[in-house]
Structure 1
Amino acid sequence: MTAIRHPFLDRPLPLAFAHRGGAAEGLENTVTAFRRAVDLGYRHLETDVHATADGRLVAFHDDTLDRVTDGRGRIADLTWEQVRRVRVGGREPVPLFSELLETFPSARWNIDVKADAALAPLLAELEAAHAWDRVCVGAFDERRVARAQELAGPRLATSLGTRGVRALRLRSWGLPLPVRRGAVCVQVPVRHGRIRVVDAAFVRAAHRLGMQVHVWTVNDADTMRALLDLGVDGIMTDHIELLREVLTERGAWQG
């Protein structure tokens, strides 16, 4: 077990993350999805952010509206007035991230920053809401997340990007590669293509550097149990009722 390096992580382990609020229900990244997760007892919620053409920060995964809404187009090319009119699954509006912070004041948010243009608005909103203690920022782009850490300092929790994960995986195999030390956690899939990412050696390597290991996106019970046996510190899932059941059967549900 690692020492707690940021208030975002200051909960009994393992942490349970509702991925996009519980994407299996089909209304991902909506107030309705996040409310359902919170009502089930989740305290850690995962979401994604993009900036609209006029600089408003929305909780949305894709760079276009096409897959999950009744609208079309790239979010970066649309104004907030245009985005606010579309509906996820034909039913639910796309929320502003500021709305989520206000609606769920006790929730902790794991945020995937999907584009460079979203970073400055995100940091501004965290400052305005005094929400530094309940947010962790990640991105596949190591440069982007390192920039977030540089701008915000230690008040912001960050996870490793892809380059950092690669270095940590090689480090777990005995190669002494440098890993960005400001990160408080590493958030990874079980596998990347043919390469196994999460195993006992990887977990040990992360813990030696003081980082928690959170695994995404895990949607079957057997994999959840195997990861918990390895000692991972958190699991992200689309199937939020299933993860709660697995943790409950082990006496580890903290909701």
Structure 2
Amino acid sequence: MTSRLVRHPYLDHPGPLAFAHRGGSLGGPENSLAAFERAVRLGYRYLETDVHVTSDNVLIAFHDTQLDRVTDGTGAVAQLPWRTVSAARIAGREPIPTLAELLDAFPTTRFNIDVKAPGAIRPLVDVIRRTNAWDRVCVGSFSDARMRALRQVAGPRLATSAGPRGVMALKLRSLTGGHAPIARAVRRQAVCVQVPETVPGTELRLVDRAFVTTAHRMGLQVHVWTVDEPSRIRDLLDLGVDGIMADHIDVLRDVLIERGAWF
């Protein structure tokens, strides 16, 4: 049972939010149009992606700083013009999409976007404004500095998740029952927390019942990444989390269908 906390149109969905992480990277080349199309055909209404910007300010849906790992191209995205990046192929066959192309291709689908570089902030906000995608987008980052800059540029209309510092403040509050000012600030700035099950680099459990309860009391949804094992998905849903991001999108879909929670 999820909290049904809906403080932004982006979160308005009748059940747990199922996110296709990078389009569902275990079912197709990650962050490719083909992967996103497959997820949408399966019924996914939420797609997760990342953004970088080329040297000539084209915003692309791409995870890595470098082209090398997932494409047949080489080099740092930020140092290459779009004409070079657009010639690279994911897994040797799929072009790299721009974020604007994805928003246009899936006009009723919602996107969770991880800002991977500070230079991508203004181009991202420009794309959201140009496509009027305010209600379809939630943005997060592993950098508190990027989140501050993003909120300054975009303003309160944009749905955002809490940054790392806010997540840790929530965890501390869930452990101590304290009232840290930073934890209260998270409620003003974000509509959700998007977190792994454990604190990165440690075995400390981040998502437990106390954490979920604390977040809900502060009006924040809890979305967990990246979870592909059915038993872990069930356990998290039993804790009351509001969304799950998966690479193996068939598995997440099957568990939600099994629980009568696929909408």
Smaller-chain TM-score bracket: over 0.9
Does 2:17 align with 1:15?
yes
1:150 positional shift: 2.5
Matched residue, 2:129: 127
Answer yes or no: is the 8 Å Cα contact 1:2–1:207 preserved in 2: no
After superposition, the C-alpha distances for 1:15-73 in whole angstroms (9 at most, x for unaligned) are 10000000112400011000000000000000000000111000000100111111111
Of the three residues 185, 190, 193, the one matched with 2:192 is 185
Q: Secondary structure of the residue that 1:22 maps to in structure 2?
A: coil
For 1:153 and 1:161, the matched residues in 2 are separated by 16
Answer yes or no: is the 8 Å Cα contact 1:68–1:89 preserved in 2: yes
1:143 positional shift: 2.1
Counterpart code for 2:196? P
Normalised to the residue count of structure 1, the TM-score between the two structures is 0.97
Does 2:102 align with 1:95?
no
Does 2:252 align with 1:249?
no
Q: Secondary structure of the residue that 2:139 maps to in structure 1?
A: strand
For 1:90 and 1:26, the matched residues in 2 are separated by 12
Counterpart code for 2:219? G
Answer yes or no: is the 8 Å Cα contact 1:26–1:89 preserved in 2: no
After superposition, the C-alpha distances for 1:190-214 in whole angstroms (9 at most, x for unaligned) are 0122111100000011001100000
Matched residue, 1:84: 86
1:2 positional shift: 4.7
1:148 positional shift: 1.6
Answer yes or no: is the 8 Å Cα contact 1:138–1:159 preserved in 2: yes
For 2:148 and 2:45, the matched residues in 1 are separated by 26
For 1:165 and 1:72, the matched residues in 2 are separated by 35
Of the three residues 160, 163, 166, the one matched with 1:164 is 166
For 1:3 and 1:18, the matched residues in 2 are separated by 21
For 1:102 and 1:146, the matched residues in 2 are separated by 27
Matched residue, 1:176: 179
For 1:2 and 1:228, the matched residues in 2 are separated by 13
Moved more, 229-238 or 2-11: 2-11
For 1:40 and 1:132, the matched residues in 2 are separated by 25
Of the three residues 192, 196, 202, the one matched with 2:205 is 196
Matched residue, 1:144: 146
Answer yes or no: is the 8 Å Cα contact 2:55–2:81 preserved in 1: yes
Q: Secondary structure of the residue that 2:189 maps to in structure 1?
A: coil
Answer yes or no: is the 8 Å Cα contact 2:27–2:249 preserved in 1: no
For 1:244 and 1:2, the matched residues in 2 are separated by 19
For 2:229 and 2:87, the matched residues in 1 are separated by 35
Matched residue, 1:70: 72
Q: How does 1:37-48 map to 2 (within 5 A)?
A: 37-48=39-50
Q: Secondary structure of the residue that 2:73 maps to in structure 1?
A: coil
Q: Report sequence identity in percent.
A: 58
Paired residues, what number?
254
For 1:3 and 1:159, the matched residues in 2 are separated by 14
Matched residue, 1:237: 246
**RMSD of aligned alpha carbons:** 0.9
Answer yes or no: is the 8 Å Cα contact 2:19–2:46 preserved in 1: yes
Answer yes or no: is the 8 Å Cα contact 2:20–2:46 preserved in 1: yes
For 1:2 and 1:210, the matched residues in 2 are separated by 10
Counterpart code for 1:80? W
For 1:2 and 1:211, the matched residues in 2 are separated by 10
Q: Secondary structure of the residue that 1:58 maps to in structure 2?
A: strand
